[in-house]
Amino acid sequence: MALKPSIGIHQKQRLAVTQKMQQSVAILGMSNAELLAFLEEETTSNPIIKISSGPAGGKQRGLPVDSVIADTEASRETFISLILRQVEIAKIPKNLQIVVYSLVEHLDERGILDASVEEIATSRGFTLADTKSALQIVQRFEPTGVGARDLSECLALQLKSDGLWTPVFERLLHRLHDGPYREQPLAQKLGLPTETLRKMLDILKRYSLNPAATLDDAPLAHVIPDVLCHWSNTKELRFSLNEEAFPRLESDSAYLGGLLTTSQEVQDYLDKQISQMNWLRRALDKRASTILRIAIAIGEAQIAFFTNGPMAMVPLKMGTIAQTLGIHESTVSRAISGKHLTCERGTFPFHYFFPSAIPNAQGKSVSSTMIRFRLAQVIRSEDPENTLSDEKIAELLAQEGITVARRTIAKYRKVMNVPTSSIRRIQKRAHSRS
């Protein structure tokens, strides 16, 4: 059968992403400070727009972030916001977009994955191949080292970025991963002169085991909460938007009054600017509605936290909230970026309410937040003369039904900026003498 050229008409559906759709997505992901800066810039190109602040009359009064999580969650919030901005502009295949967002959700405060690729793929229903491909995308983001599966890979990513990766460095990192070392025996195992090994170790010391810490942004001491939460008289948990965090748009009547004219050209200009202002109003309303809906869904999922505190926090995935609300997981990820919630227990980044799951002895999962909170309690109450090692803490938690490895305790201790048991003993002795 011979092939012949032909002309035909075919009908198919395709979603065209317009500039306004892209702008609406960007607005959803802005923090309240970023949104205010964006709107102020809009007023320069659209003079009929007038920004109306909340009841504080434009004076933004910050609330302190809860002291238990300030150094970890606030810094992670800044870090995750940076990663999400890179996700937004990256050219990611459609079948991998949700996988990339899921991997970002699994980054801890250092930027290291808090679960294995296999665990993430299994728990989210992704193929292992797609998960590995998505991880390669995440590992190309800044700062270099983000998305590493362990500290050895974190160093390897930085070496590769600087063009220093060699099979010898690969063998060295493998040896270092095994634990403490002495230079001479290690050099012999690697078949290297001791001086060469020292130079390689000096190179490794240039790199960070905490990619997120390379950011210059300091954690915010005070924030403007986006959502307010309180218990009603009928013991119901109520959520409302903080008007201070949601600027409104009004038309500048003084400017419009000065343009009263019969000129068609001026009228066309005004119609265009009014149309743009009305679109922005709708985008702001949609942003506010989405944030509030997510906050309410979080309240339902984490009701035990609001009732009993961090020890009652349960593992929660963004995908769960997305399914509850009938929206895309990436929408949840964008909407909570840079947003904060205030309740009677303090002010928290939205990300705080999405802790990862840690299996316990009963075959169930407990939240990483609960483990960190219990760890802080144990360390706070330990005997100054007999501070507990990571292994002893792991044994103590196991007696309570919280089975975690010693290295997990060490990881959370470092994330919380808590020193080793020997240093804590010295610090507590000095404090007791003062």
pLDDT tens-digit series, residues 31-43: 888 888 889 888 8
Contact between 211 and 113 (Cβ < 8 Å): no
For 216, phi then psi, to 5°, come to: -80, -15
Label the pairing between strands 357-359 and 248-251: unpaired
What is the tens place of the pLDDT at every residue in 122-154?
877 889 999 999 999 999 988 888 999 888 898
The answer for residues whose C-beta is within 8 angstroms of residue 270's C-beta and 6 or more apart is 48, 256, 259
Q: How many residues does the chain have?
A: 434
* 3-state per-residue secondary structure call for the chain: CCCCCCCCCCCCCCCCCCHHHHHHHHHHCCCHHHHHHHHHHHHHHCCCEEEECCCCCCCCCCEECCCCCHHHHHHHHHHHHHHHHHHHHCCCCHHHHHHHHHHHHCECCCCCECCCHHHHHHHHCCCHHHHHHHHHHHCCCCCCCCCCCCHHHHHHHHHHHCCCCCHHHHHHHHHHHCCCCCHHHHHHHHCCCHHHHHHHHHHHHCCCCCHHHHCCCCCCCEECCCEEEEECCCCCEEEEECHHHCCEEEECHHHHHCCCCCCHHHHHHHHHHHHHHHHHHHHHHHHHHHHHHHHHHHHHHCHHHHHHCHHHCCCCCHHHHHHHHCCCHHHHHHHHCCCEEEECCEEEEHHHHCCCEEECCCCCEEEHHHHHHHHHHHHHHCCCCCCCCHHHHHHHHHHCCCCCCHHHHHHHHHHCCCCCHHHHHHHHHHHHHC
CA dist 289 and 77 (Å) reads 21
pLDDT for res 238: 93
- Give the residue extent of every domain in the chain: 151-214, 222-353, 357-427
Cβ atoms of 299 and 237 closer than 8 Å: yes
Comparing CA positions, the residue from 396, 404, 408, 391 lying closest to residue 359 is 404
Residue that is written with structure tokens 């979603």 in the block: 15
Distance from C-alpha of 112 to C-alpha of 114, rounded to nearest angstrom: 6
Peptide bond preceding 143: is omega within 30 degrees of 0, i.e. cis?
yes
Tell me what pLDDT residue 285 has: 93
Low-confidence ranges of the chain (pLDDT < 70): 1-17, 53-78, 177-181, 214-222, 252-262, 360-363, 428-434
Give yes or no for a contact between 353 and 343, defined as CB atoms under 8 angstroms apart.
no
CB of 362 closer than 8 Å to CB of 377:
no
Token reading at 415: 């994330």
Please report, for residues 368, 378, 432, the alpha-carbon distance to residue 382 in angstroms, rounded to integers and kept in the order given.
21, 6, 13
φ, ψ at 61 (rounded to 5°): -105, 115
Determine the Cα–Cα distance for residues 212 and 146; give it in Å rounded to an integer. Answer: 8
CA-to-CA separations, 90 to 30, 94, 333, in angstroms, rounded? 18, 11, 16
Alpha carbon 257 to its chain's center = 46
Q: pLDDT at position 219, please?
A: 45
Task: Please give the Cα distance from 383 to 122 (Å, whole number).
Answer: 42
**What integer pLDDT is reported at residue 60 of this predicted model?**
42
Measured distance CA(370)–CA(305) in Å, rounded: 10
The rounded Cα 214 to chain-centroid distance in angstroms is 16
- Pairwise CA distance, residues 357 & 365, whole Å: 5
Top CATH class, 357-427: mainly alpha
Task: Give me the pLDDT at residue 220, please.
Answer: 43
